[in-house]
Amino acid sequence: MSKRNKIIYWISTIWLALGMISTGAVQLLKVKEEIEFITVGLGYPVYFLTILGVWKFLGIIVLLIPKFPLLKEWTYAGFFFAMSGAVFSHIASGNSIIDMFGPLLLIVLITVSWFFRPDERKIILIKKHSTEVI
């Protein structure tokens, strides 16, 4: 991995971690504005905040610790699904593009972090060649 790619990976991953930790903390602490936004603005139940907050914290732990490449892939996918779901929730609720800035930025960070991840954080698939004739 080149030095440039390593720098891009760590910058995007640290910003991703900060974004997920800060939003996860707001969700777990059930800040009044967040409760109002999630229930009135988007129409979700309050317990949804706990689910999102816990998964964000667990996901960041997985991304930052070494090893476990399969779990990291699932984490990136889960983050992507959660943030793309947030964008679509904003669209369905008729919110402005400004309300979608956070999830869209996190989607970019998820994608960049995933794309530039080091080889030791990737799943290596070994393809067996068969000599059978069908």
CB-based contacts of 53: which residues, under 8 Å, 6+ apart? 23, 24, 25, 26, 27, 28
pLDDT in the model for residue 6: 95
Q: Give residue 119's pLDDT.
A: 85
pLDDT at 129: 63
pTM given for the model:
0.87
CA–CA separation, 72 and 83 (whole Å): 16
Q: What type of residue is 74?
A: W
CA 26 to CA 55: how far, in whole Å?
13
Average pLDDT by stretches of 10, the chain with 134 residues: 94 98 97 94 94 97 93 96 96 92 97 93 72 57
pLDDT of the residue at 49 = 96
